[in-house]
Chain A
Amino acid sequence: MFADYTWTELGSIFAMQGFAGLILFSVFVLMALGLAIIFGQMGVINMAHGEFMILGAYVTYLCSNFVEAHFPALFGIYFFFAMALAFVAAGALGALVEWSLIRHLYKRPLDTLLATWGLSLILQQAYRSIFGAREVGVSLPNWLLGSVPLTDIIEIPINGIFVMVLTFVIAIGVYFILFRSRMGMQTRAVVQNRVMAGAVGINTQKVDRNTFALGCGIAGIAGSAFTMIGSTGPTAGQLYIVDTFLIVVFGGAASLLGTIASSFAISQAQSTMEFFLSGSMAKVLTLLTVVGILMLRPQGLFSLKIRR
């Protein structure tokens, strides 16, 4: 399959597909970070995570329309407000869902799977009723359009660079929240031993709600980033949820570094193979490899070595 291309062409194809893979990687990381927090830390399988992401995307869409219509002067920087709003909206919905639904199901993991799947259907229909079934696109400010030419044939889109920087900042932020802040310490304590965390004075219910809201809020930011590389529709989130789960499991639950490494591996493999093979063939090969590795290493790529 490589025979039809010259070496320089192959090099540029790999570079550009690699870069496209990096953008996919960014969305995967943002999605997976939220999911890893919720699944890895709380053991809740959140099938509605993709819909939280799409909520963020719709918030970005609304925000872009609103700013364009009322404050055209601010259009260049609306994206930052939109991200903050997406985080708040998805986080608030997450807190509401935790309070009304998830907290009653902590001891029944399979039921959370069904309940959140139902929730995802409800949210999809809600989006369809509110925003219509047609996909919507966000208009980007001028400074995010265009691309940087690296060589004659390799070009790198600016919005891709922006998404990657954003992902990097958020990954660092999540690391600090989980491992350097009081909230993160309490979250980890609750994860390891819920009963004992209560007995050293941690309000476990509050920690659960904050953790869930944080995970959903990050999904909202992922949705914001997603608007730059794809169009937003009611069911767009569903396409990503399986891949994201794969990433979380492959990386090793509760390991941030593992999540990032496995997002990178899977998105790059997918994006490069998609150019040469068909999309579904690329997916089959990725899945087979992941399943093979998980059979040899069931705990995922990264896991802590500790006596338990």
Chain B
Amino acid sequence: MAEAHPVGFQWVMEAKRRGAKVFHVDPRFTRTSALADAYLPIRAGTDIALLGGVVRYILDNDLDFREYVLAYTNAATIVSDQFIDTEDGDGFFSGFDPETGTYVQDSWQYAGHEGSSGSGHTAQERDSASGLAHESHGAQVGGQTERDETLQHPRCVYQILKRHFARYTPEMVERVCGIPQEKFLELAQAWTRNSGRERTGMLIYSVGWTQHSVGVQYIRTGAIIQLLLGNMGRPGGGVMALRGHASIQGSTDIPTLFNLLPGYLPMPHHAEHPSFDEWVDSIRHPGQKGFWGNARTFAASLLKAYWGDAATADNDYCYGYMPRMTGDHGTYQQVLNMIDGKIKGYFLLGQNPAVGSAHGRAQRLGMANLDWLVVRDLFMIESATFWQNGPEVATGEIVPQECRTEVFFLPAASHVEKEGTFTQTQRLLQWREKAVDAPGDARSELWFFYHLGRKLREKLAGSALPRDRALLDLTWDYPTHGPHAEPSAESVLREINGYDVTTGRPLSSFAEARADGSTAIGCWIYTGVYADGVNQAARRRSRHEQDWVAAEWGWAWPANRRMLYNRASADPDGNPWSERKRYVWWDADKAEWTGYDVPDFEKGKPPSYRPPEGASGPEGIAGDDPFVMQGDGKGWLYAPSGVLDGPLPTHYEPVESPVRNPLYRQQANPTRKMYAHPVNSVNPSPPQEHGQVFPYVFTVSRLTEHHTAGGMSRTVSPLAELQPEMFVEVSPELAAEAGLEHLGWAHLVSGRAVIEAKVLVTDRLAPLRVDGRIIHQVWLPYHFGFEGLVTGDSANDLFGISLDPNVLIQESKVGTCDVRPGRRPTGPALLDLVADYQRRAGMIPGGHAPAVTGDSEGERRGDS
């Protein structure tokens, strides 16, 4: 965190000043470790084993916050008798379909709900990364669930959890992760001691946790711990995601993703959602409990915001204009489609995949096979010049004179040169003013898209073709100002907030949304940010002039609520769990919820409320069910649906690992998304043979001095000079073994690429003893590329493409490689070296590791 989020780290230092003990778990000793009280080196890709160890420690020692767990989580809920755990299925849950490599989730459901909406086959959900749709809510549950308040029933979630994690002992943590038992116990004790009625603990993770073939399950394990310890919905608790750069939260709320629409409404699928009603019902699930029951009002209002007067109840608010998904349109599938000539044109904004994405060579080859490519960035980045200066030019794979892609580079305004909002990890929207004019032709994204749309509409103005109606009927009337006709960002914010169509009055709350076409809302969860016609995100009242929750600084979605599920900060009867942790409580005299924050609960629903038989929507949520967006109002220790690779997290080895999974015969996540394409390959891992060709583990991450793919730091002198060259960090032990010298050259080889780097020999990397073997890990920064003031080979070139099944994020934090002294070969010899390694490792281009692994290669259960 000190390394990648130095500004946020000031609060960790503040906590330390007040006596907090800081633990840091990382494959290498970083600037964060330097300031932590305890540093735990870990083998990259084994976090579920570590966190699972903490879960077991809590359950075995009865350290859970029992009252909270019993009332607010699904610990007591009984699960279907058809469910089989990985402990009994040798690494598989029940319902695995080897044909597609995905699960049928019927048997994971609560008892009596086997056929409910969360059940069914998940192959298509994986293709559309539908796990993302659950960012703001869980899946649905219909009707009442069977419970055992004594937690003794063998199929209650509590007992299932206990059995599932029984083998994640301190000994196993040491064996899998390489973390000494006493260090692990120190961590587990500190975490549990600082949770409960009087104290809460917070879990902070960064994007590196997500970039694994089991990334979503990493976070699930953290969430299970936080629920068991009563750290959710309470001040000082929670799971916080530190994003990779500004407003990443904003770009999922109003998404730059293929599968989502604003406010986490799913993008329609051509086969699943042929009509407006079918689309809406797939979101709200008629008869289900919870707050998604109002989905129709959000959906109709969004379409009304898109198509204004043209959108009417009679034409289903122009639902027919909506684009439809036909399968996997994720960024990696797109790159392979480019290589295969299936994609002709591409817009690239604020992203540098030639350096920043996994398998850089595939990225560059894909972009070199387009008709046109539009790059908007602050600097001439690698993704704009790959056709001219990329490494494939040296190897002869791209010939500049013959490269067919026409690249248009358009200079972009930076964040200080345009106005708008940033949404940070706490869902807080903060308005920023424009400080200076952008230089030369540099323009804002808003300017670009507004005028692009305007010109397209002008060109199509006379068209009678039905296919052009969607564009021509769009509301596209933002006021502009200044010499460049810059659209008003505030008018866009007003549209996002939503307004009454007849009067134009900005809405104050999404409860005002209507399904009859009388309201238009650009993003329903943001409704209220422009309440009363005031830009609430621009509020800057000092913390010294308000209470500690500081509700008048910026604006948080939803409804300016600073903490989600804050009903859980009070006990089932509505009283604070403790004075110290008082936050939101039931005021019996006024018969309403009150507190420092906006209560995340129906204001007048008393703690004693019990839903009548057959109630659905919000009425189905009881007065002591704080997790109101979940179908059963409970925090999910066990997820009967919504997570495609299992209702519980399970340790699988990374896709490329030198270690055989010590827990199950199943080596890696069997549901991971794999791409069999000639450009893609995966280094062999046990039980496959020839893994020793790539004996070392490598991991990549950031340096404080650089920003992501380097476009904004390698181009700026005061930053570039602070980390001027690509390097690899190795332990003194590995340096001796591989013959590497400090400040000398080394090259690293994977089945995809070979890159070179200067060597830094440092004690900050230490070999780990794992299962009786010594595992060497090396670390690389991923910032370098071939443009800018300082250049170097790109670490991400080493990775292949294997994705998490829930959100289609690539495993780009761990892989295997070989490390050799000296510089890499150049020209065609470079390709020969990679080919030689592929041959020695028995790798077939386009082939991939088996999804299902038995004791040896011959014993596979199936190969998808």
Q: Do A and B come from one complex?
A: no
A contacts, CB < 8 Å to B = none
